[in-house]
Amino acid sequence: SVGTSSLRSIVGQFEYDHIIGDRNKLNKEWLLVVGTSIEHWGVQTTKAEIQSFGPLDASVAKTLEKQMDAERDRRQQELNTRAKINISEGEKQSTILQSEGNLIAAKNLADANLLTAKKQAEGQRYLIEQETLALTQQLQAISKELNNDHYLAVQYLLARRRFDELQAIANGKNNSTYFINNQNEGVGSLKIFSDLMKKDS
C-alpha cells in the first residue's frame, strides 16, 4: 500500500517517455520515498526497483507507444535541422573567411607590386639623374677646354657618341657597314673629336 501510493506520487511527476527511458532515476526516487515512509516501523529499505511499467489497457499502451515514436521522430528531426543549420553556418563562415583572406592577399600583392614599381621608378630616376649630372659635368669640362664654346662641346660629345657606336658596330659579329646621313657634319664632328684627343695626349 505504501509502495503503491508512493509510486503513484512519483510517477505523476514524470512524463511517460521519461519513465520508460530513465528507469534508474525513478527507482532512486521511489527508494527514497519508500525508505522514509517505513523507517519509523523499524524497516530499512535497501533496494526498490520497477521491473516493468505500462498501462493495463492494450489500446492505451499502443496509443502511448505511437506518441512516444512521434516524439522521438520530432526530436530527431529537430536535431537534424540544427545540425544542418550548424553545417550551413560553418560553411558560410568558412566562405567569408576565405573571401576575406583572398581580399587581404590581393591587397598585399597589389601593395607589393606598387612598392616594386616605385622602387624601380626611383632607381631609373636615380640613374637618369646620375647620367645627366655626369653629362653636364663632362660638357662643362669640354666647354672649358674649348674656350667656353658650348656648341663645339656638344659637337664633340656627339662625335664621341658616334665613335663609340662605330666601334661597337665594328666589333660586332652581325654588322659590318655603317652609314652617316650628313657626311660633312660627321666629318666635322670627328675632326673636333680628333683635335681634342690630340690635345689631351
Provide DSSP, 101-162: HHHHHHHHHHHHHHHHHHHHHHHHHHHHHHHHHHHHHHHHHHHHHTTT-HHHHHHHHHHHHH
Give the separation between CA 47 and CA 39, rounded to whole angstroms: 14
pLDDT of residue 138: 84
Half-sphere exposure of 106 (CA within 13 A, CB side): 6
pLDDT in tens, the chain (201 residues): 555 666 666 666 666 666 666 667 777 776 777 766 666 677 666 776 666 666 667 787 788 778 878 888 888 999 999 999 999 889 888 888 888 888 899 898 998 999 999 999 999 999 999 988 988 888 888 888 888 888 888 888 888 888 877 777 777 666 555 455 554 444 455 555 555 545 554
In this structure, what C-alpha cell is assigned to residue 49? Answer: 526497483
For the chain, give percent helix, strand, coil, nearest 5: 80, 0, 20
- 33: three-class secondary structure by DSSP: helix
Q: How far apart are CA 169 and CA 3, in angstroms?
A: 121
> Exposed (0-12), middle (13-18) or buried (19+): which is 13, by Cβ within 10 Å?
exposed
Going by C-alpha positions, the residue among 34, 33, 10 that lies closest to residue 23 is 10
The whole-angstrom separation of Cα 63 and Cα 72 is 14
